[in-house]
């Protein structure tokens, strides 16, 4: 029987949503670990955690970023004897029965991640996974809801802490692909996920999803996309990077708030990403 722990990274969470997250995880796993990245409401987090059994909270003295916090979670759980950890955003709710059914899923020695399907809230996208095969090999998934093989993660050096936040999951999945490991999606389980202040626009029959992330997130996304292009030039070519950033630029310009600050952050991220890419060549 595969032992699975749950790990949650927090940063100024909504406590009510965090409680829902913990409640859903507690019913399915033996241990829950929280890593807090210097939240202003850390006392509320500790109080919320104290209402449940077997929850351990690690409080960082500064915001170390999502990648470092994920590595802390995996390392701590591995020391407790867990070889699998389901990582969760602070506002995610684990699908019912997902972990309880993990033993029956096709997770062999070459499997690095088993994840649920994802439905982003505030969109009209319906569950399009139920018509597919029960289990499907995919190239990329988000970390929230992903049951991650800790020994594989450690073997490959953990999550890349140079990235801090944004596309940390994307980079790790690229690394898994290069190393020959599988990512399996269990289409029968759907994780409801928030993505920034997401909203949907309709232009004719075309749907456009606008994340309305903060200027800080825009910076890291832009920087890290170029960083990934430097690490994996064959998989993340400059054509893809330019197209993706141009789409983001247009969405910010047409639909988002704080346009000036976000565009400045984007250009700074592009500049710093180019610098990081150049450093990898030297």
Q: How confident is the model at residue 207 (pLDDT cuts 50, 70, 90)?
A: confident
- Nearest Cα residue to 27 out of 114, 113, 118, 99: 99
> What distance in Å separates the CA atoms of residue 99 and residue 105, rounded to the nearest whole number?
10
Average pLDDT on 134-160 reads 96
Q: What is the pLDDT of residues 45-90, one digit of tens each?
A: 999 999 998 899 999 999 999 999 999 999 999 999 999 999 999 9
Burial environment of residue 51 by CB neighbours within 10 A (0 to 12, 13 to 18, 19 or more): exposed
- Please tell me what DSSP assigns to residue 89: -
Kindly give, in sequence order, each residue whose CB lies less than 8 Å from that of residue 79, ignoring residues fewer than 6 positions away.
none
* Residues of each domain in the chain carrying CATH 3.90.550.10: 4-193
pLDDT at residue 129 in the model:
59
Question: Considering only 1-5, 71-75, 79-83, 117-121, which range has the smallest mean pLDDT?
Answer: 117-121
- What is the pLDDT at residue 193? 74
- 10 Å CB burial of residue 249 (0-12, 13-18, 19+) is middle
pLDDT at 195 over 80: no
Q: Which two tokens stand for residue 63?
A: 């915001």
DSSP 107-161: --TTEEEEEEEEEETTS-----STTS-SEEEES---STTEEEEHHHHHHTTSS-G
Closest CA relative to residue 37, chosen from 15, 70, 14: 70
Task: For the chain, give the percent of residues with pLDDT over 70.
Answer: 90
What distance in Å separates the CA atoms of residue 126 and residue 208, rounded to the nearest whole number? 15
**pLDDT per residue over 213-268, tens digit each?**
899 999 999 999 999 999 999 999 999 999 999 999 999 999 888 999 999 999 99
Closest-CA residue to 173 (of 199, 148, 136):
148
What is the structure's pLDDT at 280? 65
Q: Where does the pLDDT of residue 123 fall: very low under 50, low under 70, confident under 90, or very high at 90 and above?
A: low
Which residues have CB under 8 Å from 61's CB, separation 6+? Answer: 38
What is the model's pLDDT at position 92?
87
Q: What is the CATH number of domain 4-193?
A: 3.90.550.10
DSSP result, 165-234: SSSHHHHHHHHHHHHT-EEEEEEEEEEEE--TT-EEEEETTEEEEE----HHHHHHHHHHHHHHHHH-TT
- The CA R_g of the chain, rounded to the nearest whole Å, is 19
CB atoms within 10 A of CB 281: 6
| Contact yes or no for 257/212 (Cβ under 8 A) | yes
At 155 the pLDDT is 98
Which residues, in sequence order, are bridge partners of residue 34?
8, 57
């Amino acid at each position: 029987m595969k032992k699975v722990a749950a790990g949650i990274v927090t940063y100024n969470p909504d406590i009510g949503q965090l409680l829902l997250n913990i409640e859903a995880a507690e019913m399915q796993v033996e241990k829950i670990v929280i890593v807090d990245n210097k939240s202003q409401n850390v006392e509320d987090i500790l109080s919320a955690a104290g209402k449940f059994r077997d929850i351990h909270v690690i409080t960082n003295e500064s915001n170390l970023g999502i990648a470092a916090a994920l590595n802390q979670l995996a390392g701590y759980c591995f020391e407790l004897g867990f070889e699998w950890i389901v990582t969760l955003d602070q506002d995610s709710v684990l699908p019912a029965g997902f972990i309880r059914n993990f033993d029956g899923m096709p997770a062999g020695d070459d499997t690095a991640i088993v994840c649920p399907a994802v439905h982003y809230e505030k969109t009209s996208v319906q569950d399009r996974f139920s018509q597919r095969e029960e289990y499907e090999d995919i190239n990329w998934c988000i970390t929230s809801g992903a049951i991650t093989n800790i020994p594989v993660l450690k073997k490959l050096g953990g999550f890349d802490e140079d990235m801090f936040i944004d596309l940390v999951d994307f980079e790790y999945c690229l690394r898994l692909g290069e190393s020959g490991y599988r990512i399996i999606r269990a289409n029968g389980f759907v994780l409801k996920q928030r993505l920034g202040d997401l909203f949907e626009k309709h232009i004719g029959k075309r749907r456009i999803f606008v994340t309305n992330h903060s200027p800080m997130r825009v910076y890291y996304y832009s920087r890290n996309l170029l960083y990934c292009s430097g690490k994996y030039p064959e998989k993340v070519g400059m054509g893809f990077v330019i197209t993706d950033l141009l789409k983001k630029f247009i969405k910010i310009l047409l639909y988002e708030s704080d346009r000036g600050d976000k565009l400045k952050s984007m250009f700074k991220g592009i500049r710093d990403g180019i610098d990081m890419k150049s450093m990898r060549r030297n």
